[in-house]
Each structure stands twice: as structure tokens, then as C-alpha cells.
């Protein structure tokens, strides 16, 4: 009988270098996905603002139809939610909105009458990401 010298069997497994290489590739792909997702979220917020502005503009026009005037700048958007306390409200008064809307950055929308952009009407706008009205990132009903 022939005897063979002992040969150690190599077990099938991944080496440390292979594992590090795979994890590095996965991390690279996840990083690229996150970077591309940031732009999508920003455009989604702007789209939501435009939808909210359409809702607010329609509610203000409905308020104007019912009352024959638009709310003052002092009353603001709250006039769409609460009965006016200074003037007698019409008997069939109903709120135009259930609650005051907030923009995607958590700030209330701004209302001006007469408007600076729409001289004969009103301006409804979000102060944008910085939360400061009158800056370049404002989004208003003039953008619709």
C-alpha cells in the first residue's frame, strides 16, 4: 500500500482583504446614493410649497368671495382659520382651512395685502430654507 504524506486541506472562506474590498465598494455605493438623494429632497420641498401656495390662494379667493374683501395683512392667514373678532362675521361663516399650514422647514407662510409682487392682489409666500422673508430663496404665489 502506498502512503501519501499528509496534505492539509484548504477550507473555502473569504480572506480579510476580500472582505475589506467588498465593504469598501458597498460604502462607496451607499455614499453615492445619499449624495444623489439630497437633491431629490430639496426639489420635493419646493414642490410641496407650490402645492401649499395653490391651496392658500384658493382659500383666500374663497374668503374674498364670501366676504367681498380679502383679509388684511394684520389678520393674515389666521383669517382663514378663525372667525374675525374685530368685525362681525357673516352668519354662514366657515373656516377655509382646518389649521394654519407650515412650510416644509417648519415656518408659517407669509401673507401681504396689498402685495409687493401682485400690486392689486396679495402675496402669499414661504421664506424658504433660511426662514428670512425678502431673500432670494423665497417661494411665492408669483412663482406659480
Domain boundaries in the chain? 23-143
What is the rounded (10 degree) CA torsion for 103, 105, 111, 116?
-120
Global pTM reads 0.70
Higher pLDDT, 136 or 93: 136
The SS3 call for residue 124 is: strand
Q: Give pLDDT tens digits for 13-45.
A: 788 899 999 999 999 999 988 888 877 877 888
Closest among 111, 110, 103 to 70, alpha carbons compared = 111
For the domain spanning 23-143, the CATH number is 3.30.700.10
Q: Mean pLDDT check: name the lowest of 6-15, 35-44, 65-74.
A: 6-15
Amino acid at each position: 500500500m502506498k502512503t501519501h504524506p499528509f496534505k492539509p486541506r484548504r477550507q473555502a472562506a473569504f480572506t480579510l482583504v476580500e472582505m475589506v474590498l467588498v465593504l469598501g465598494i458597498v460604502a462607496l455605493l451607499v455614499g453615492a446614493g445619499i449624495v444623489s438623494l439630497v437633491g431629490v429632497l430639496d426639489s420635493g420641498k419646493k414642490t410641496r410649497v407650490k402645492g401649499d401656495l395653490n391651496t392658500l390662494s384658493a382659500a383666500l379667493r374663497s374668503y374674498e368671495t364670501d366676504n367681498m374683501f380679502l383679509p388684511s395683512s394684520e389678520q393674515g392667514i389666521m383669517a382663514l382659520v378663525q372667525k374675525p373678532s374685530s368685525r362681525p362675521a357673516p352668519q354662514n361663516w366657515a373656516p377655509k382651512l382646518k389649521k394654519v399650514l407650515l412650510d416644509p422647514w417648519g415656518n408659517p407662510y407669509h401673507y401681504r395685502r396689498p402685495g409687493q409682487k401682485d400690486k392689486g392682489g396679495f402675496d402669499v409666500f414661504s421664506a424658504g430654507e433660511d426662514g428670512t422673508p425678502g431673500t432670494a430663496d423665497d417661494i411665492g404665489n408669483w412663482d406659480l
